Amino acid sequence: MRTTMDIPHAPHYRPPPPTTAELEWAELPTVDLSLSNTPEGMEELAKVVKTVMKVHGFFYVINHGATPEFNARMFDIADLAFAATTDADKTAYAASIKEAGSYQGFKARQYWHIDSGVRDEVEIYSSTCVVSHRQCRPGRLSERRAVHRDVRKREHPEVLRPFLPEISAFARFNHLRVLHPLLRLFARAADLPEDAFVNIDNYDAAGETYGKHALMAPTTGSSPML
């Protein structure tokens, strides 16, 4: 078990203040995962999720078990992906999105063209792993590439390497403690067996799941926001 002395230092990330602009905020449903511990609670939440699936498409999740300290630490680490890496790092660890369909690594700001000359303003570092499975077939050797969720099995920028155990723990927590309960709710809402989606999205299996550190470029007069 790691002690406090073993935990590497990361400068504390201070988020920008909330906007004071008058905006038309969307009213979204809330899924309270603390209610998922009982059959009655699951049934009630499944109704909420069914409405989400049919009407909203988005929702909030509360009472998922991640403490404010846990989340704050991950923001500190996420900030390092942008504040403490060099342009050379971002080139060396660039994601092969268009070439190979892989999001592992850095996606540069303004990589995507949205419309009419407008480009995206989000810089992203995606943490996951690509593992190769070599298979012998008659007359040839083939290779399948699959995404694995254990971030420690993939090379990362040097500044992030001391933090890989924490990034991995955060990814596992979200997959097992947040995603899996939600998948069970989606299955219920779709009148499927409760573990239908969980069984095909096991944490230890290969799959297209990424832990993403994202930095939104500032608008005029504001600060960058993770």
CB 131 within 8 A of CB 206: yes
Give the distance from CA 30 to its chain's centroid: 19
Q: Which residue has the higher pLDDT, 208 or 44?
A: 44
Give the per-residue pLDDT at 106: 95
Residue 201 has pLDDT above 60, yes or no: yes
Give the per-residue pLDDT at 209: 72
Give the per-residue pLDDT at 70: 95
Report the pLDDT averaged over residues 9-15: 94
CB atoms within 10 A of CB 211: 19
**Torsion sign over Cα 199, 202, 207, 209:** positive
Q: Please name the residues in contact with 12: beta carbons below 8 A apart, sequence gap of 6 or more.
A: 72, 76
Q: Which tokens go with 208? A: 């297209």
Angle at CA 17, nearest 5°, toward 11 and 20? Answer: 170
Burial of 78 (0-12, 13-18, 19+ CB in 10 A): buried
Give the per-residue pLDDT at 136: 28
CB atoms within 10 A of CB 84: 14
Mean pLDDT of the chain: 84
Least confident of 96-100, 145-149, 178-182, 214-218: 145-149
Give the per-residue pLDDT at 107: 95
